[in-house]
Amino acid sequence: MNNKIKYGVAILVSTIIVIAVYFGLGGAEPLVFEKETRPMLKVYGKPFQGEYTDPTIEKLFTEAREFAIANEDATLAIINYNTADIDSVKQFIGFISDKDYDKMYVEMKEVTFVKTKINAHNLVMPRPDKVLEEATAFAKENGLKLDELSIEVYHKESDLEVLFPCKAE
């Protein structure tokens, strides 16, 4: 067998493996959006504003994740505020709970969300800008306008719910 055929077969087999892994990890799952109104949502945690590389962001995430793991009534959550700066982030990192805690929190009452669930491994999850683009299109089709933030709710390792609060008209 000549080298061209060997390389061709190797590339074909590699491509098939990559595609199989991508599908197996949930990379081809479509984003399905729905409208949901909640009477109240409370996110407990701490604010962060700075660069993605700041170690504080990892520390806050780890603290919130460990708290959520240790408390059945808590679910890891991150509020992402839209900012113009592409090199930094503004977030509120913590957990959602119906139980009252003596901690700093962000509260939303009678809020309508556009939401989607993403069941895929982190390696193949859709990019945040793609999720926002599709959520914006869904909102527009349904006569809604998204607010300037989103909430990521981490139920399990590869089970993410993204909530986009809608502005009151």
Question: Taking the CA atoms of the chain, what radius of gyration do you get in angstroms?
Answer: 20
Q: Look-up: residue for tokens 């306008």? A: 145
The answer to whether 37 and 114 have CB atoms below 8 angstroms apart is: no
Q: How far apart are CA 35 and CA 139, in angstroms?
A: 8
Q: How far apart are CA 117 and CA 111, in angstroms?
A: 18
pLDDT averaged over every residue in the chain = 83
Helical ranges in the chain per DSSP H:
3-24, 55-70, 128-141
The answer to whether 139 and 145 have CB atoms below 8 angstroms apart is: yes
Closest CA to 161 of 119, 102, 99, 112: 119
Q: Per-residue pLDDT tens for 2-32?
A: 777 777 666 766 666 665 555 555 545 677 8
Distances (CA, A) of 17 to 11, 22, 23, 42, 163: 10, 9, 10, 43, 33
Residue 38 in tokens: 């909640």
Q: Per-residue pLDDT tens for 80-127?
A: 998 767 778 899 999 999 899 999 999 999 889 999 988 755 554 667
Residue 16: per-residue pLDDT? 65
Q: How far apart are CA 85 and CA 78, in angstroms?
A: 18
